[in-house]
Structure 1
Amino acid sequence: MATRHQVRQAVITLLYTHEMDTFNEDFASEYFAEQKIKNEQKNFAETIFGGVLENIDNIDEKINSYLSSFKLAELGAMERAILRLGAHEILAQTCEARVAISEAVALASEFGSTNGVKLVNGVLDNIAKDKNPVASAAVDTKEFYENLSAIQESLKPKEPRNSRIPKESGFKKSAKSGPASKTAPKKPPKRARKDDTRKDEK
């Protein structure tokens, strides 16, 4: 079963295809089935996807009010989709503002750049503070990237214990040679000393 983060990834994909004019209901159904998004999670995805489209003019206006040097239309389509989803979740209160921003920042780190992460974090935090001026909901991006690096490191495949060839060397084990031996190679026998040879001759 898909997680809420995977559901949001799917919604971002649908928003992107919708803006590219390649979206249709058959595509959405096939995509949900492929991503194993069904039942409650599918309803959640359809609700927030429909909510963004229904309120897109108000969402874009809110986002643009916190963009100074450029406007939403000048961003990449994927960043627009992430901002729209995050803004909708904050404004419609589908979840806590901190959760909405954290999810949007994670999506921006997966699909965008470092600058995109900062932009998404800053804009959505301003929208959240406008909605509820009591406290900031911004994500600590330094802490976020530290945690992200740790997660990515833990997901790296571990090298087999019996492999003595470093990955960067470019060498490969022969398919015919079979598995590498776990025992160390035997040392060659020592040469007999001259005096030992004489003793044998006697």
Structure 2
Amino acid sequence: MSARSKARKRALDILYQADVRGDDLAATLAAEARRAVSEPAREASWLYAREIVDGVIDNRDEIDEQIATFAKDWSIARMPAVDRAVLRIGVWEILHNEQVPTAVAIDEAVELAKEFSTDDSGPFVHGVLARIARAS
């Protein structure tokens, strides 16, 4: 697994944890940063995970607006928490990270959804992100 794939999983953990617990995302990120100091072997994945989560924090309204617009018949609140987190990562990468090709962002998000969410989540995430990519 590549360092960026590991970072996406780590970002997913942070986003999911804050969402499910109802915690402030910045506080959850700060707690993870304190933990990351003691894990120098995982520094490469931590740096990109932090970039993702910071990007989601900085662009949350725009990201959620895109998800709400392109998730046909699904409100953000109704989505499984894992799907919300995966979509936020994917949308951030598509709209705000020029270093990641759109196809890679979508594929990585779909793989996270398949691994950590429901059987229907992979196609759902793919559909939403593909629509956002086409519109951007």
- 1:124 aligned onto 2:129: yes
Q: Which runs of 5+ in 2 are unaligned?
A: none
* Counterpart contact for 2:29–2:53, Cα < 8 Å: no
Within-5 A mapping of 1:73-88: 73-88=77-92
CA distance in 2, matches of 1:73, 1:51: 21
The structure with more radius of gyration: 1
Deviation at 1:26, TM superposition (A): 2.9
2:75 match: 71
Instruction: Indicate how the Cα distance of structure 1 residues 33 and 87 shifts in structure 2: closer, same or farther if over 3 A, else same.
Output: farther
1:104 match: 109
Whichever residue aligns with residue 29 of structure 1, its letter is: R
Task: Please point out which of 28, 31, 49 is paired with 1:26.
Answer: 31
Scaled by the length of structure 1, the TM-score of the pair is 0.58
Structure 1 runs of 4+ off > 6 angstroms?
none
Whichever residue aligns with residue 52 of structure 1, its letter is: V
2:16 match: 16
Cα RMSD, aligned residues only:
2.2
2:63 match: 59
Scaled by the length of structure 2, the TM-score of the pair is 0.84
SS at match of 2:42: coil
Q: Which runs of 5+ in 1 are unaligned?
A: 132-202
- Which structure shows the higher helix fraction? 2
* Counterpart contact for 1:7–1:37, Cα < 8 Å: no
> For this pair of structures, how many residues does the alignment match?
130
Whichever residue aligns with residue 11 of structure 1, its letter is: A
